[in-house]
Amino acid sequence: MFTKILIANRGEIACRVIKTARRMGIATVAVYSDADRDALHVEMADEAVHIGPPEAGKSYLVIEKIIDACKATGAQAVHPGYGFLSEREAFAQALKDAGIVFIGPNPGAIAAMGDKIESKKAAAAARVSTVPGHLGIIESPEHAVAIADGIGYPVMIKASAGGGGKGMRIAHSSSEVAEGFARARSEAASSFGDDRVFVEKFIVDPRHIEIQVLGDKHGNVIYLGERECSIQRRNQKVVEEAPSPLLDEATRRKMGEQAVALAKAVNYDSAGTVEFVTGQDKSFYFLEMNTRLQVEHPVTEMITGVDLVEEMIRVAYGEKLRLTQADVKLDGWAVESRVYAEDPTRGFLPSTGRLVTYRPPPEGRDGDATVRNDTGVFEGGEISIHYDPMIAKLVTHAPTRIAAIEAQARALDAFAIDGIRHNIPFVSALMQHPRWIAGALSTGFIAEEFPEGFTPPAPKGEVALRMAAIAIACDHRMNQRKRGVSAQMQGWRKVAFDRKRVVALGAERFEGEVTEQGDTIVIGFGPRAVSVVSAWIPGDPVWRGALDGVQVAAQVRAILNGVSLSHAGAHAQAHVYTAREAALAAMMPEKVAADTGKFLLCPMPGLVKAVSVAVGQEVKTGEALCMVEAMKMENVLRAEKDVTIARILAKEGDSLAVDAVIMEFA
């Protein structure tokens, strides 16, 4: 077996590979840019090599620097992770020429499958179901419009070398094709150094289901079940699960056999993923093949018990697969939430900054479930503008889908992050969504269920009662601390705290009375009593305890006269008063937020790529005002109503902070 490997990547996937290599007794080498000098993967690896400035094009994407790092450290093989150089035929070939093993498929398989246009041709030749479309190179917007008109709308414009939702647009009309073509080419060139795009029919109400395959260098290929990846935002996966709630065993077998046939046709010899767009009637069409480890691979690992990174390393070394198709058994259900540095209340725009608090839930057993957290960050670390905004991948595994979802919801409630905006409130709310729970999914799920964007829902019913009980329990604990403060005045009786409490929880109001029974407090809400047991202390960002014997977690942040609470996808500020305080609080005037309607504010930290208007120009609703790039994604900011431009305060090339004023309207 190899004695030392280099990981040509960063973040959580670099840390993930290091964990398996360490378990196998293999030494690891990390590479890092200036921005990642203090990153977790650098600390975890046995050795680390600096490879350049923060820009990926000058560091992580430079093949010569990776090879030089291998030679300098004596690394015998390279694991590319995902993204960056993972699907570059030239990288695999350069390593081979240098006598270094690529822990991935052979260059020929990458060439055949890594290019989305060529892969569709190969799939058609292997008799794999394919989507109608134009697989030739498209050189101009006019050509793209002509092709789209012939196929019929809607169509998808996609970068040939794309991935991660970059260089991809859905168009419903010829005008959208022209604009989408330009944006897709620009993003593809920026992210992948390849601006080729193609056009294909977009299947309405589709599901995204993919098959994990694993091959060796001796001609053996197997499939390890499927993953459902239909919960997407801007073509970027957000939540994945395995297996799919749609498929039956017969469809699973047909998809798996087609995936294996395609892999064998190109002599595939590593872990890879064959993606299908799937109709609600279980019809399926080949989408693309990812010739690398997928971001969402943990859900497959959890239901099969197979460490895909280990198998990739063993196959690269020349070993035969240790499994046959008959050995593959699917056990239980796994759900994965991608935790991103983005603001779901601002259209999921990226957020950057320091992780003032980063405390994931404990890994390991949670009753009948298992919790796993793949991450590449740490408390005090920085979320950089230069790379993907992923913070972690939170995975839960349980005997049934509902149990896995419930475990995921509990784990999200216990995941504390401060210092940046993040999408935990959104995925927490999603775990409670009836349509998600029912498994009635499609790639349009988020757009259909959250058409006006996302706002954390106010608590209702049993969730509201639980949150009121937690708020009173927190208030009671803080009162107990006050009673124990040293050096209080002697000779005066201590303040007798009123045991009756009034909780203003958003628009709802709860009245409760606290009774202590040893380590348990009982809160009486009229005829309903809730017993509370918790070791929470003031300052902890996560409240953990038992409500009527059921384990519960909630996000808790101190506010004036109470706590801000997030639990089970709901959020509210809980003000806890005595009866007299509640009466006085009701008379207080509310502070009204300043009107910012006359300004265009930068919705995320980013770089101004273009300003599309001039001072004095009259702009109609929906017209483009400017374009801001953040984390390799180009975001066009449009007018929300008819306006006249009074002042422009930013210019092309400016780097802006969130809420910076870009322009003012008359």
- Determine the distance from the C-alpha atom of residue 86 to the mean position of all C-alpha atoms in its chain, rounded to a whole number: 19
**554 in the same domain as 470:** yes
Q: Each residue of 551-568: pLDDT tens digit? A: 999 999 999 999 999 999
Q: Are 472 and 576 in contact (CB under 8 A)?
A: yes
Lowest mean pLDDT among 64-78, 424-438, 616-630: 616-630
Residues labelled catalytic = 288
Residue range 617-651, pLDDT digits in tens: 999 888 899 999 876 678 889 888 889 999 999 99
**Is residue 617 located within the same domain as residue 517?**
no
Question: What CATH code is carried by the domain that includes residue 547?
Answer: 3.30.700.30
Residues 607 and 581 in one domain: no
Instruction: Name residue, tokens 């784990």.
Output: 411
| pLDDT above 70: residue 491 | no
**Of the ranges 39-48, 65-74, 289-298, 484-493, which one carries the lowest mean pLDDT score?**
484-493
pLDDT range class, residue 200, cuts 50, 70, 90: confident
Global pTM? 0.83
Looking at the fold, whether 575 and 467 belong to one and the same domain comes out as yes
Which residue bears the tokens 């959208």? 176
- What residue type is assigned to position 72 of the chain? A
622 and 508 inside one domain: no
257 within domain boundaries: no
* Mean pLDDT, all residues of the chain: 93
Distance of alpha carbon 412 from alpha carbon 542, whole angstroms: 11
Give the torsion through C-alpha atoms of 590, 593, 597, 598, to 10 deg.
Answer: 120
Q: Is the CB of residue 353 less than 8 Å from the CB of residue 340?
A: no
CATH number at residue 139: 3.30.1490.20
Please, are residues 245 and 441 in contact by the beta-carbon 8 Å criterion?
yes
CB distance 536 to 545 below 8 Å: yes
Distance of CA 399 to the CA centre of its chain: 24
Q: What's the pLDDT tens digit per position in 299-354?
A: 999 999 999 999 999 999 999 999 999 999 999 999 999 999 999 988 888 888 89
**pLDDT tens, position by position, 507-550:** 899 999 999 998 999 999 999 999 999 999 999 999 999 999 99
Please count the helices (runs of H) and the strands (runs of E) in the chain. 17, 40
Give pLDDT, residue 103: 98
Same domain, 475 and 565: yes
Q: Is residue 216 part of a domain?
A: no
Residue in the block written with tokens 């990458």: 110
Lowest mean pLDDT among 30-39, 131-140, 203-212, 228-237: 131-140
Looking at 414-526, list the stretches that DSSP marks H as alpha helix, in order from N- to C-terminal side.
424-431, 434-438, 445-449, 461-483
Answer yes or no: do 99 and 48 share one domain.
Answer: yes
359 residue type, one letter: R
pLDDT for 596 equals 72
- pLDDT beyond 80 at 162: no
Q: What is the DSSP letter of 219?
A: S
Q: In this predicted model, which residue has the larger pLDDT, 387 or 74? A: 74
Domain of 526 in residue numbering reads as 461-482+498-585
Query: Do residues 470 and 530 both lie within one domain?
Result: yes
Residue 112: what residue type? A
Q: Does 19 fall in a domain?
A: yes
State which of 87, 103, 119 marks the end of a domain: 103
Alpha-carbon span 11 to 33, nearest angstrom: 12
The CATH number covering residue 10 comes to 3.40.50.20
Which residues does residue 509 pair with via DSSP β-bridges, in sequence order? 504
Is residue 83 in some structural domain?
yes
Q: Are residues 467 and 580 in the same domain?
A: yes
Greatest alpha-carbon pair distance for the chain in Å reads 93
**Geometric angle at alpha carbon 80, from 76 and 83, rounded to 5°:** 170
Mark whether 511 and 578 lie in a shared domain: yes
**Within 24-62, where are the H helices?**
40-44
Q: Of 80, 85, 79, 47, which Cα lies nearest the Cα of 63?
A: 85
What was the pLDDT predicted at 493? 63
551 and 622 assigned to the same domain: no
In a domain, 27, yes or no: yes
Residue 365 falls inside a structural domain: no
What 3-state class would DSSP assign to 185? helix
Say how far apart CA 302 and CA 281 lie, in whole Å: 27
Q: What average pLDDT score do residues 494-501 get?
A: 76
Q: Which two structure tokens, joined as six digits, stand for 241?
A: 């699960």
- The dihedral over CA atoms of 485, 489, 492, 498, expressed in degrees to the nearest 10, equals -30
Q: Does residue 504 sit in the same domain as residue 570? A: yes
| DSSP state for residue 51 in the 8-state scheme | E
Give every CB contact of residue 116 below 8 A, 6+ residues apart in sequence.
158, 159, 160, 161, 162, 198, 288
CATH number, domain with residue 643: 2.40.50.100
Q: How far apart are CA 124 and CA 120, in angstroms?
A: 6
Question: What proportion of the chain, given as a percentage, has pLDDT over 90?
Answer: 74
* Phi, psi angles (nearest 5°) of residue 213: -115, 160
84-93, 148-157, 578-587, 632-641: range with lowest mean pLDDT:
632-641
Domain end call among 585, 609, 632: 585
Total domain count for the chain?
4
In the DSSP assignment, the letter for residue 587 is T
Residue 643 belongs to a domain: yes
Where among 560, 585, 610 does a domain terminate?
A: 585
β-pairing verdict for 382-383 and 520-525: unpaired
Considering the domain boundaries, does residue 398 fall inside one? no
Q: Tell me the C-alpha distance between 103 and 216, whole Å.
A: 11
- CA-atom Rg of the chain in angstroms: 27
pLDDT digits (tens, 9 = 90+) for 169-196: 899 999 999 999 998 988 888 888 888 8
User: Does the pLDDT of residue 591 top 80, yes or no?
Assistant: no
